[in-house]
Amino acid sequence: MYRLHRCNRAKACILALLSIISPLFSADTYPKTPDGARAFMEAVEADLMQIFTEDARAGWVNANFITHDTQILASKATEKTVSTIVRYAKESTRFDGVKMPDDLARKFKALKNSTAMPTPGDPKLAAELAQIVTRMTGTYGKGKYTPPGSNPLDLGDLSEILAEHKDPEQMLMAWEGWRTVSPAIRKDYQRFVELANQGARELGFKNLAEMWCGKYDMPPEEFPKELDRLWEQVKPLYISLHAYVRNKLRDHYGAEVVPADGPIPAHLLGNMWSQQWSNIYDLVSPGDADPGYDLTQILKDRKMDAIQMVKVGERFFTSLGFEPLPATFWERSLFVQPKDRDVVCHASAWSIDFKDDLRIKMCIKINADDFSTIHHELGHNFYQRAYNHQPLFFQESANDGFHEAVGDTLSLSITPNYLKDLGYIDAVPDPSKDIGLLLNQALDKIAFLPFGLLIDQWRWKVFSGEVTPENYNKAWWELRKKYQGIMPPVKRTEEHFDPAAKYHVAANVPYTRYFLAHILQFQFHRSLAEAAGNEGPLHRASIYGSKKAGKILADMLAMGSSQPWPEALYAISGTRQMDAGAILDYFAPLKEWLDKQNEGRPVGW
């Protein structure tokens, strides 16, 4: 047995130990035949299963015990994971052109698309790329703005000003202040594009845009067209919401601040990126917006604690026919923010061992938002367990939008009917109370749609060379105006780099998954509600207690990514095409109401 303490030099010991734990092998070891390809893939999956589990454990410890050392250990584990994936992906190109069964070909494709940042084969360039991404995320994470005569303000401070203040000058200060951080990222980003494109070409893609768009079971050039088709379906609803919000903001701030018929100034929408508008609900809410109950107050009056709230979420799934969560879930999850250490409070769901070691990590507060978030995160856990019998490369959602959509689908069932079933309210409020609830939801979900679409639209144009560094910022604001009807509150030039004021750009995290999730969750909800026998308005439907809906959901979840996503979509909805029509069904009462409010006033930009 190898003993770590027998080594004199720690680094040499660790490297030696890793060589035992994860032996290196090459595609050259396997013949360039279908059998050789399958043997190679089986070896890759076995090695990566162990590496992924080690990475998950290191990440969990770091998120729950943030120290200098745990950060280093987690970083090293991630570095090992990424470098191993990239190496295997490049070695897998040896089997390009080998005719193989569909399931095996699907695994090879998944391997090549396992990372959003393919590194060049040259070790010096690979190291440079890693350093650039670390530097970009570091610049973003440490970013602060110091107003004249004030203390430094970080992103949280500046976002709070946008969310809570109603003084346009203060909001402009916060909006502009955060965007003093991103210009320092611009030069790095330009080099990042060059190196990541080189890595993508070494995997057989034209550029990183083609690689990202190639993940969706259709020709890469067809995927952006599919997104625009979905957008055109929901655009009329967004335009109605945009016009209503613009008119309300104009009434509040005056004609000198908000135009009558143009884009909305970006700093007035309560969010640093104008991606969700619920923080301005108090300015735009209808006069009679009281839904007839306050879920936060109900939870507090019932003296609910964090674990009891999670138990309620679990009971939603068991009511559908799912097995309860394992005992280790309750032993190993983080539910309450500890008082004795730093933790990452951002809610997340984990499958540590790709089997039954499921966990959530949340600093739960007793309020309606976290009640909904719990249902969402448990959706991830039950999805993870449903496909844990699949091979490693099929232990993922059908496409990257499905995972987020499943969690949100369950959240859509938190309706007055569900609350009545739980005994939280005595009677379901009159439908006349629904407009306020629907408007508040639309300010999050409908307002988000164009933003969720344009982030990657901009990046794909950059990766493909259609947008050059000389036009980074110009192209960014052209897309924001085209899709969102948003404009900068002050002049922006190429001295700025506003795209990198969003974390996902600075950290190279793909974003289209969130747009897809916002479309799919309503399509899932409509189909499951129909299976559950819902006959009323879609926004009032809950699938709680429906074993039939639960069976349909469970069968789809169990597929993982073993089949093209249209097959998974067919399993849950009876159609192989994504359809935003369910959003229109859900928000139909709100659309009618918005159009009445907008009568006689400009619509569009």
d(CA 213, CA 221): 7
The answer on pLDDT for 339 being more than 90 is: no
Does residue 196 contact residue 129 with C-beta atoms inside 8 Å? yes
The answer on pLDDT for 331 being more than 80 is: yes
Q: Is the pTM of this model over 0.95?
A: no
pLDDT of residue 25: 67
- List the one residue out of 514, 485, 466, 519 whose CA is nearest residue 229: 519
d(CA 528, CA 415): 15
Tell me the CB-side half-sphere exposure of residue 204, using CA atoms within 13 A. 15
Q: Tell me: the pLDDT tens digits for 69-121?
A: 888 888 788 778 888 888 898 899 999 999 999 999 999 999 988 888 888 88
d(CA 213, CA 205): 11
Name residues whose C-beta falls within 8 Å of residue 253's C-beta, 6 or more positions apart in sequence.
168, 268
- Joined together, the tokens standing for residue 551 give 């069976």
C-alpha angle 371-416-436 in degrees, rounded to nearest 5: 90
Does residue 368 contact residue 296 with C-beta atoms inside 8 Å? yes
pLDDT of residue 121: 84
Number of H helices, E strands in the chain: 25, 6
- List the one residue out of 244, 282, 251, 239 whose CA is nearest residue 436: 282
Phi/psi at 375 (5° precision): -60, -40
Q: Active site includes 380?
A: yes
Q: Active site includes 68?
A: no
The answer on pLDDT for 14 being more than 70 is: no
Phi/psi at 153 (5° precision): -120, 130
The answer on pLDDT for 2 being more than 80 is: no
pLDDT of residue 24: 52
Domain coordinates in residue numbering, the chain: 4-113, 134-285+442-511
pLDDT above 70 covers a percentage of the chain that reads: 96
Residue bearing the bigger pLDDT, 498 or 28: 498
SS (H, E, C) 362-427: CCCCCCHHHHHHHHHHHHHHHHHHHCCCCCHHHCCCCCHHHHHHHHHHHHCCCCHHHHHHCCCCCC
Number of Cβ within a 10 Å radius of residue 494:
13
**Integer distance in angstroms from the first to the last C-alpha of the chain?**
71
Q: Active site includes 222?
A: no
CA-to-CA dists, residue 415 to 310, 396, 492, 537, 593, angstroms: 17, 29, 43, 11, 20
pLDDT of residue 123: 86
Q: Which residue spans within 333-398 are E strands per DSSP? A: 348-351, 358-361
pLDDT of residue 290: 76
Catalytic entry in 91, 210, 377, 396: 377
The answer on pLDDT for 582 being more than 70 is: yes
Does residue 120 contact residue 198 with C-beta atoms inside 8 Å? yes
pLDDT of residue 493: 96
Query: DSSP string of 149-162?
Result: TS--EEHHHHHHHH
Phi/psi at 361 (5° precision): -130, 110
Specify burial of residue 433 (Cβ count, 10 A radius: 0-12, 13-18, 19+).
middle
d(CA 484, CA 245): 13
d(CA 456, CA 265): 22
Q: What single-letter amino acid sits at 90?
A: K
Q: Active site includes 404?
A: yes
Catalytic entry in 504, 507, 567, 570: 504
d(CA 352, CA 358): 6
Q: Tell me: the pLDDT tens digits for 451-473?
A: 999 999 999 999 999 999 999 99
pLDDT of residue 180: 96
Q: Active site includes 504?
A: yes
- List the one residue out of 163, 583, 292 whose CA is nearest residue 409: 583
Does residue 281 contact residue 438 with C-beta atoms inside 8 Å? no
d(CA 336, CA 313): 16
- Joined together, the tokens standing for residue 83 give 């470098």
pLDDT of residue 245: 97
Q: Could you give the 3-state DSSP secondary structure of residue 583?
A: helix
The answer on pLDDT for 11 being more than 80 is: no
Bridge partner list, 209: none
Catalytic entry in 267, 380, 403, 518: 380
Q: In whole numbers, what is the pLDDT of the chain averaged over residues?
A: 91
- Joined together, the tokens standing for residue 144 give 């602060």
Catalytic entry in 189, 244, 383, 514: 514
Q: Active site includes 160?
A: no
Q: What single-letter amino acid sits at 245?
A: V
Does residue 520 contact residue 198 with C-beta atoms inside 8 Å? no
Catalytic entry in 16, 39, 116, 347: 347
- List the one residue out of 221, 205, 270, 557 whose CA is nearest residue 440: 270
- Joined together, the tokens standing for residue 85 give 């994936």
Bridge partner list, 348: 361
Specify burial of residue 588 (Cβ count, 10 A radius: 0-12, 13-18, 19+).
middle
pLDDT of residue 207: 96
Q: Tell me: the pLDDT tens digits for 239-269?
A: 999 999 999 999 999 999 999 999 999 999 9
The answer on pLDDT for 8 being more than 90 is: no
Specify burial of residue 90 (Cβ count, 10 A radius: 0-12, 13-18, 19+).
buried
The answer on pLDDT for 407 being more than 90 is: no
Does residue 442 contact residue 345 with C-beta atoms inside 8 Å? no
Specify burial of residue 422 (Cβ count, 10 A radius: 0-12, 13-18, 19+).
middle
| CATH class of segment(s) 134-285+442-511 | mainly alpha
Catalytic entry in 210, 314, 396, 404: 404
pLDDT of residue 537: 94
Does residue 359 contact residue 336 with C-beta atoms inside 8 Å? no
Catalytic entry in 267, 376, 525, 539: 376
Indicate the pLDDT class of residue 13, thresholds 50, 70 and 90: very low
Indicate the pLDDT class of residue 18, thresholds 50, 70 and 90: very low
pLDDT of residue 292: 77
Specify burial of residue 101 (Cβ count, 10 A radius: 0-12, 13-18, 19+).
exposed
The answer on pLDDT for 3 being more than 60 is: no
pLDDT of residue 156: 86
pLDDT of residue 419: 93
The answer on pLDDT for 495 being more than 90 is: yes
C-alpha angle 507-221-558 in degrees, rounded to nearest 5: 70
pLDDT of residue 554: 97
Most confident of 150-164, 360-374, 465-479: 465-479
Q: Tell me: the pLDDT tens digits for 21-64?
A: 344 567 678 999 999 999 999 999 999 999 999 999 998 998 88
pLDDT of residue 78: 78
